[in-house]
Amino acid sequence: VEMGLPEGEDVRQLWRCSYEKRLGQLVLSTEHVGFVAYDSTSLWLRPLSELVHLNTARYVASNAATDNSLILSFRDGHTAQLDGFWARDDCLQAFGAEEATRHVTTRHEPPAMRG
């Protein structure tokens, strides 16, 4: 994944998801978080020091049956909603394990009831 990370910075984890209806990967490195679309139409990269909150969402605007969304909130008020996670809980655990994200608060909503 070409993210434009600073030299020597390691990618820790990658998760398949979508951002603004573009399929791609959420990337967690030692000091940054970002998204890169598979078709290269969307890319963003933010320092982990700017991330202030992670929130799980119970639905996606395009599919109310899913509960696999994650909303990242940054210090400047910008938010990024990532949808379609198959391993969202693993993603939350990975963020919690990084030293650079110790300041980040997390809210995890229970899955939506189905049936």
Cβ distance 46 to 33 under 8 Å?
yes
Token pair in block for residue 29: 């490195």
Task: Please determine, for residue 105, whether its predicted confidence score (pLDDT) is greater than 80.
Answer: no
H helix and E strand count, the chain:
1, 8
pLDDT at 86: 75
Domain ranges of the chain: 11-107
Give me the amino acid identity at 77: G
Token pair in block for residue 5: 């990370």
| Exposed / middle / buried, residue 102 (Cβ in 10 Å: 0-12, 13-18, 19+) | exposed
> Over pLDDT 70: what percentage of the chain?
78
pTM: 0.78
Q: What is the DSSP letter of 63?
A: B
What is the per-residue pLDDT across 24-52, written as a single tens digit (0 to 9) for each?
A: 999 999 899 999 999 887 789 999 999 99
Cβ distance 83 to 23 under 8 Å?
no
Cβ distance 36 to 25 under 8 Å?
yes
Taking only Cα atoms into account, the Rg of the chain, rounded to an integer number of angstroms, comes to 14
pLDDT at 113: 46
Question: Quick one: average pLDDT of 43-71?
Answer: 77
Task: Please determine, for residue 115, whether its predicted confidence score (pLDDT) is greater than 50.
Answer: no
Whether CATH 2.30.29.30 fits 11-107: yes
